[in-house]
Amino acid sequence: MRSTRIVLVAVFALLVGVAAAAAAVALVGDDGQRAVDTAETGTSEPLSGPEVRFTGTDVTTGAVVGLGKLEGRPVVVTVWASWCPACLKQVDALRAFAASHEEAAFLAVDTQEDAEAAQDFLATNELSIPTIADEDGHIAAKLGVRELPTTLFLSSEHRVAMMWEGPAGVGRLKAGLAAARAG
């Protein structure tokens, strides 16, 4: 009798777990595709997501930076943190890509840590991208970030053209910038 009760409790716990996972997928969406693919829209029109707006203080210069000062240019926004091992994997590609694509603006959001940690990360990795400290994670949440790093590619009107979760190599950065230019 006792072993039957244990089995029933275990089966019930398993069913509750499966139901919770199904509810999470229904509410948040699955992670079967990590980047928006414009080819799946069935049209030649580029995707154009919501307009993005935010500002903050650059951790290096102390100047107020934000998308409002970058009007008319596509923008690559990378959300990262110095404590994130995957973020370190993106550094070389991001540095090289930013240096070779002056037609685009680049902006980083260092989330869930203070400005000093962001300054150290930038200096250690020789990155000269304007970076806003997002100590409480408010900007990352507003952008819909679920994983670090996350890179958003914004059109010149600052609408999300593509979003990539996880480290983005040069190929993905090129594809994202192309999507931003298109729309």
53-75 tens-digit pLDDT: 999 999 999 999 988 888 889 99
**Whether residue 166 is found in the same domain as residue 82:** yes
**Whether residue 76 is found in the same domain as residue 161:** yes
Higher pLDDT, 140 or 49: 140
Q: Is the Cα dihedral 41, 157, 134, 150 positive or negative?
A: positive
Q: Is the confidence at residue 136, as pLDDT, over 70?
A: yes
Q: Is the confidence at residue 52, as pLDDT, over 80?
A: yes
82-129 tens-digit pLDDT: 999 999 999 999 999 999 999 999 999 999 999 999 999 999 999 999
Rounded (5°) CA angle 91-95-98 = 135
Range of the domain at 11: 1-30
Alpha carbon of residue 112 to chain centroid: 14
The pLDDT mean for the chain works out to 80
**Is 119 exposed, middle or buried, given 0-12, 13-18 or 19+ CB atoms closer than 10 A?**
middle
Q: How confident is the model at residue 81 (pLDDT cuts 50, 70, 90)?
A: very high
So what's the pLDDT on residue 35?
A: 37
- 170-182 helix and 85-100 helix, angle to the nearest 10 degrees: 60
Bridge partners of 77, per DSSP, are 107, 152
DSSP 130: -
**Whether residue 176 is found in the same domain as residue 105:** yes
CATH number of the domain residue 88 falls in: 3.40.30.10
Q: What's the residue count for the chain?
A: 183
Which are the contacts of 25, defined by CB distance < 8 A and separation ≥ 6?
none
Higher pLDDT, 180 or 71: 180
**Whether residue 8 is found in the same domain as residue 68:** no
If one counts the domains in the chain, the total is 2
Higher pLDDT, 39 or 145: 145
So what's the pLDDT on residue 3?
A: 65
Q: Is the confidence at residue 163, as pLDDT, over 90?
A: yes
In the chain, which residue ranges form alpha helices assigned H by DSSP? 2-28, 85-100, 115-124, 138-142, 170-182
Mean pLDDT of 161-173: 95
So what's the pLDDT on residue 66?
A: 87
